Amino acid sequence: MSSEIRLLSSGSPNPIASLTSKRWNSLRHILERPGPFCKADFTASAENLEALQNGLKILVIGAGGLGCELLKDLAMMGFGNLHVIDMDTIELSNLNRQFLFRRKDLGLSKAECAARFINERVSTTRVTPHFAKIQDFDERFYSQFHIIVCGLDSIVARRWINGMLISMLDYNDDGSVDPSTIIPLIDGGTEGFKGNARVILPGFTSCIECTLDLFPPQVTYPLCTIANTPRLPEHCIEYVKIIQWDKENPFNVPLDGDDPQHVAWVYERSLERANQFNISGITYRLVQGVIKNIIPAVASTNAIIAAACATEVFKLATSCYDSMNNYMNFNDIDGIYTYTYPPEKIETCLACSNTPQDLNVDDPNTTTLDDLIKILCDSQRFQLKSPGLTTIISGKNKTLYMSSVKNIEEQTRANLTMSLAELGLYDGATIMVSDINMPTTITLILKYHPNEVEMK
């Protein structure tokens, strides 16, 4: 087995695993024979297959279009101990590509239904479901797995699990990462006919945070356009979603993109508005996509990206071949195109640099705390959602602002309009920032321009 992967106790062997079945002959050709492309620590042995079935524990995050393919691929590649996390329930629109579900499963947990299907179909695999958010689990839970593979549609979730795995690293006296604490992260993503797969070795390769600018920005529409001069069907849908729903409040509850009645109401009102401005192209599916900010999924893309991810899991688990180095782009809009390259590890990465980062500020006398929070939310580097800020003044911890706790928010709200100078935040002051995008706190050092550091 690869030295990069921590071997934990395997627990009791799978009682129904049949290692002598002919179904594993193709795997034996790889695992029981040496070859010119095997890594140095690979040893051809019949025990390799047994380790896949009984010695490794793999976590799949997400049981949607990509997650269903991943579970199927990993089960058919001999992995016997799988876990899957997903917080969603099954909708009718899922059934065209998420093939582990049936109409009778509508409204049920994706994780539980996917696990049940695989367990019933592949006797050599045991899938344990977790109907929950990834944020519901702590370090002790994630430390039990040898490899984690993601089939997520959320950048926030990717950043969170990336930060969690980095926070679990231990470092040697010379500052190097202890290899035994590394849990490889295999990440896959799809967007229509495009997709990507990547291998992340926390602490060694570039991480999710290092390449945050690779993710496309969320599409937004100016409010003046959707309210006064709509030109696209999306403008009409956004108008109903943002303005008309709150104004009319048809069901006395917030808009729910998973509720067919809500979607139907938005669809009908969007059609009416589109007709007023002679705009065509409003469809029920488009309305769903705009409400939930999703891009239509393509089953073949999911299958290709999942196969690439599962192959990387297999290579890392067995050392039968070098893992991908380390980011693969896939595009089959005009023919099939793939490109693999190693993104650079950013020395100032917020997640994996393991050092406080500088935050440049123009003028502490005119920059308010609210301005600082907007920088953290709007900048391409940080992309935070609702940061909470604390600092140390005169040796004592001080909460500058925290929106997530009501009474603390009320107590610190007045700080928002105060300048950094008025708050006593000098040049070189340390600010600790927490956010739902990250499982751990990041540390920032305020840096003022030399000619603007005079405190009033």
pLDDT in tens, the chain (456 residues): 444 444 443 444 443 446 678 888 999 999 999 988 899 889 999 889 999 988 899 999 999 999 999 999 999 999 999 999 999 999 887 898 899 999 999 999 999 999 999 999 999 999 999 999 999 999 999 999 999 999 998 888 999 999 999 999 999 988 889 999 999 999 999 988 999 999 999 999 999 999 887 776 666 677 777 888 888 899 999 999 999 998 998 999 989 887 889 999 999 999 999 999 999 999 988 898 888 776 667 899 999 999 999 999 999 999 999 999 999 999 988 888 999 999 999 888 989 887 898 999 988 999 999 999 999 988 888 888 889 999 998 888 999 999 888 899 999 999 999 999 999 998 999 999 999 878 989 999 999 875 544 544
Cα–Cα distance between 406 and 392 in angstroms, integer? 22
Cα–Cα distance between 164 and 253 in angstroms, integer? 34
Give residue 278's Cα distance to chain centre: 39
pLDDT at 216: 65
The length of the chain in residues reads 456
CB distance 195 to 189 below 8 Å: yes
What angle do the packed helices 65-76 and 299-318 form, to 10 degrees?
40
pLDDT at 451: 55
Three-class secondary structure of residue 4 per DSSP: coil
What angle do the packed helices 110-121 and 65-76 form, to 10 degrees?
30
**Close Cβ partners of 47 (under 8 Å, ≥ 6 residues apart):** none
Which fold, 357-448?
3.10.290
Beta strands (DSSP E) in 225-336 are 327-331
Cα–Cα distance between 321 and 42 in angstroms, integer? 9
pLDDT at 450: 56
The CA distances from residue 328 to 164, 197, 207, 239, in Å, are 23, 5, 14, 38
pLDDT at 18: 64
Cα–Cα distance between 146 and 186 in angstroms, integer? 11
Give me the residues paired with residue 328 across strands: 197, 340
CB distance 171 to 177 below 8 Å: yes
Give residue 363's Cα distance to chain centre: 35
Terminal Cα-to-Cα distance of the chain (whole angstroms):
62
Among 207, 274, 211, CA closest to 240: 274
Which phi and psi angles does 26 have, rounded to 5°? -65, -35
Burial class (CB in 10 A: 0-12, 13-18, 19+), 341: exposed
For 234-239, which contacts have Cβ atoms below 8 Å and span 24 or more sequence positions?
A: 234/286, 234/290, 235/279, 236/270, 236/273, 236/274, 236/277, 236/279, 236/282, 237/266, 237/270, 237/282, 237/286, 237/287, 237/290, 237/291, 238/290, 239/270, 239/273
Give residue 455's Cα distance to chain centre: 41
Which fold, 223-292?
Arc Repressor Mutant, subunit A (1.10.10)
224 belongs to the catalytic site: yes
CB distance 185 to 165 below 8 Å: yes
pLDDT at 218: 61
Which fold, 24-216+298-341?
Rossmann fold (3.40.50)
pLDDT at 369: 95
Q: Of residues 224, 236, 320, 352, which has the active-site annotation?
A: 224
Domain ranges in the chain are 24-216+298-341, 223-292, 357-448
Among 81, 70, 164, 141, CA closest to 110: 70
Amino acid at 72: K
